[in-house]
Amino acid sequence: MGGFGSGRYSRYSAKRTVEECCALDIRGLHRDGSLTRSEFTLTWRGRRGVIGRLSFIRPLSENVVMVQRASTSERLMVEWVACRFGGQRPWWRCAGCDTRRAVLYDSGAKFRCRQCLGLTYRTQQENRGDRLVLKAKRIAVQLGGDGRGLELPDKPAGMHWRTYDQLTSQFVEAYVAGLDGWREELGRMVGALGKR
């Protein structure tokens, strides 16, 4: 993308984000049948290889799953809720706040929900300019761009001219507003440095 603020958070007090943590989504485990197995292993991979690995052992009760790490183990409670048109849906029971959660995150020692760990989403830490330029980039990809730059591609074959014109105007509005947002953020940063 290039430009001011790209690739880095512009806030100095950036909190830890859910994208940086290993997430344990019970919906995916239920969908692929892992919750019915007696044992299974999950592996999280990042850009640099394996970032986390857990072994799960299902004890006698269907409401408890044991999570085993290299040195510790933890019990995760599962709550089964009846669906309106039949069947059951599983939820994690967060040990920190005792609420139903679909996703628990690895704190390094225990699994807790996003609120208990104080995690935010990456987009919550981006400034207005970053969000708008990302919107322009998504529109460019929708029009057939490669997603690396912010060049507006030609009209894709089969797309109506009216649709192309609408997307083009949305791209230009988002890109210009994003540049304005970056300019405002730069002005705030320069002002903050001037006060020091």
Total Cβ atoms within 10 A of residue 23: 17
pLDDT interval class at 12 (50, 70, 90): very low
Q: Give the helix ranges, DSSP H, for the chain.
A: 26-31, 114-117, 128-142, 161-195
Indicate whether 152 belongs to any domain: yes
pLDDT interval class at 50 (50, 70, 90): low
Q: Is the pLDDT of residue 10 over 50?
A: no
Of 99, 117, 135, the last residue of a domain is: 117
Are residues 109 and 166 located together in one domain of the fold?
A: no
Cβ–Cβ < 8 Å for 163, 143: no
Are residues 45 and 91 located together in one domain of the fold?
A: yes
Of 117, 136, 153, the last residue of a domain is: 117
pLDDT interval class at 46 (50, 70, 90): low
Q: Is 185 helix (H, G, I), strand (E, B) or coil?
A: helix
Are residues 95 and 146 located together in one domain of the fold?
A: no
Q: Tell me the average pLDDT across 157-175.
A: 91
Indicate whether 13 belongs to any domain: no
Are residues 89 and 163 located together in one domain of the fold?
A: no
Q: Tell me the average pLDDT across 148-175.
A: 87
Are residues 53 and 113 located together in one domain of the fold?
A: yes
Question: pLDDT digit string (tens) for 113-132?
Answer: 999 988 888 777 777 888 88
Q: Is the pLDDT of residue 104 over 70?
A: yes
Indicate whether 6 belongs to any domain: no
Q: Is 23 helix (H, G, I), strand (E, B) or coil?
A: strand
Which value, in Å, is the radius of gyration of the alpha carbons in the chain? 22
- Give Dmax (Cα) for the chain: 64
Q: Is 47 helix (H, G, I), strand (E, B) or coil?
A: coil
Are residues 84 and 130 located together in one domain of the fold?
A: no
The answer to whether the predicted template modeling score (pTM) of the entire model surpasses 0.85 is: no
Are residues 136 and 110 located together in one domain of the fold?
A: no
- Residue range(s) defining the domain that contains residue 159: 123-195
Are residues 155 and 184 located together in one domain of the fold?
A: yes
Buried b (16+ CB within 10 A) or exposed e, 128-165: ebbebbbbbbebbeebebeeeebebeeeeeeeeeeebe
Of 90, 117, 144, the last residue of a domain is: 117
Are residues 86 and 128 located together in one domain of the fold?
A: no
Are residues 127 and 111 located together in one domain of the fold?
A: no
Into how many domains does the chain fold? 2
Average pLDDT score over the chain:
80
Are residues 74 and 132 located together in one domain of the fold?
A: no
Question: pLDDT digit string (tens) for 85-99?
Answer: 999 899 999 988 999
In whole angstroms, give the CA distance from residue 49 to residue 134. Answer: 27
More confident residue, 52 or 156: 156
